[in-house]
Amino acid sequence: MIKHVDIVCDLSWGDTGKGKITNYLSSKNRYDVVARWAGGNNAGHTIWKGENKYKTHLIPSGIFNNTLSVIGPSCVLNEKSFYEEIDYLKESGFNTSLVKVSPRTHIVLEEHIKEDKERLYNKLGTTAKGIAPCYASKMARTGVLAKDVLDSKYILKQEELSGKILCEGAQGFYLDIDWGNYPYVTSSITLPYGACSLGFSPHKIKDMWGITKAYDTRSGNDPLFPDTLFEDKDLYALGLLGEETGVTTGRKRKVDWLNLDYLIKAIRISGVNILVVNKCDVLRALGIHKLFYNDRIYEFESIRKFTDFINCELLLKTEVKKIHFSFNKEQL
């Protein structure tokens, strides 16, 4: 029986540090399961354990805290990449027997990757990992399930999860197939209600953690983030300070000032009650503190006034109850 569920989701365009927060929560709380509900190896999480940095693309961050880590039925899985990630984690000393895959997870085939590279990569700036074609096969009822091809030792035997569950999202709110800037979106549900696909009632949800950064970034093509952003010297410097390079693709991310209107909308629709604003230390190091709000740009003389303004507006205009401004890559 499921006792309660906590959810970690991204309120922006991805790359906000969800893995860091999932790792933090799973190290502090006694979760029985950490589970991922969407996407495939088109995502990327960077985890710090002490002085060591680890990068994963599909396996949930619970693995870093010796917790059962489940890849859910709404995910898609590339066999080769999955086994490479298993080997990488095993060589790094982690217990990969804790990694399990839902038998209903769909498999990314070579034909999906080929189609992605030929039809979608240049047009939409996808990761060329075959994600969209795999989801298309799933919806066309022609897909291949994990239970039919994956090593059985990684297949989740008991489909119904139990105990205390932490759900780890992928990508971000504005990459959601329904709520993003279509067609410049991902092919899955990134909003927290998608976590229910793991097999639990919404009534079991306790806390929903929404993650964003002190500035906005975007990987891939999107008219909301034009290439001209690379020409702004302050934003370019911010990107360098924040090491804004995609974990999965290695592409340099486009950087812009935080859009508070978009953040408020994402909080209201997703219903998160706890907010984490990561990389405040990066903005402080730049020494320029700007954001967009109500169709104008605001500039603040200090990071404290910047965060105080955000705190005041969000507590006033959303139902979020707690806001954490993070100044450290490893901690809240």
Q: Which helix (H) or strand (E) holds 48?
A: strand 45-49
- Domains along the chain? 2-325 (3.40.440.10)
* Contact predicate 113/130, CB 8 Å: yes
The DSSP letter of residue 20 is H
Indicate the pLDDT class of residue 331, thresholds 50, 70 and 90.
low
Tell me the average pLDDT across 250-264: 94
pLDDT at 29: 80
Percent of the chain exceeding pLDDT 70 equals 98
Q: What is the mean pLDDT of residues 2-9?
A: 97
- The whole-angstrom separation of Cα 269 and Cα 179 is 10
Largest CA distance in the chain: 59
Q: What is the pLDDT of residue 330?
A: 59
Backbone angles phi, psi at 62, to 5 degrees: -60, -25
Distance of CA 245 to the CA centre of its chain: 15
Q: Quick one: pLDDT band at residue 249, thresholds 50, 70, 90?
A: low
Residues labelled as active-site residues: 15, 45
Res. 245: pLDDT tops 90: no
Helices (H), the chain: 18-28, 79-91, 110-115, 121-124, 131-139, 233-241, 260-270, 280-286, 303-317
pLDDT digits (tens, 9 = 90+) for 110-148: 999 999 999 988 888 888 999 999 999 999 999 999 999
% of the chain beyond a pLDDT of 90: 86
Residue 161 tokens, joined: 């999860």
The per-residue pLDDT for range 18-76, each reduced to its tens digit, is 988 999 999 988 899 999 999 999 887 888 888 888 989 999 999 999 999 999 999 99
pLDDT at 242: 95
Query: What is the average pLDDT score of the chain?
Result: 94
Q: By C-alpha distance, which of 241, 243, 223, 220 is closest to 284?
A: 241
Q: Are 61 and 211 in contact (CB under 8 A)?
A: no
pLDDT bin (cut points 50, 70, 90) of residue 328 is: confident
Burial of 330: CB neighbours in 10 Å, binned 0-12, 13-18, 19+? middle
| 187-209 pLDDT per residue, tens | 999 999 999 999 999 999 999 99
Spatial contact of 135 and 187, defined as CB atoms under 8 Å apart? yes
CB 229 within 8 A of CB 223: no
Indicate whether 180 pLDDT > 80: yes
- Residue 83 reports pLDDT greater than 70: yes
Report residue 220's pLDDT band, with 50, 70 and 90 as the boundaries: confident
Predicted local confidence at residue 127, as pLDDT: 87
Instruction: Note the pTM of the prediction, 2 decimals.
Output: 0.94
Average pLDDT for residues 89-103, to the nearest whole number?
Answer: 97
Q: What is the pLDDT of residue 251?
A: 76
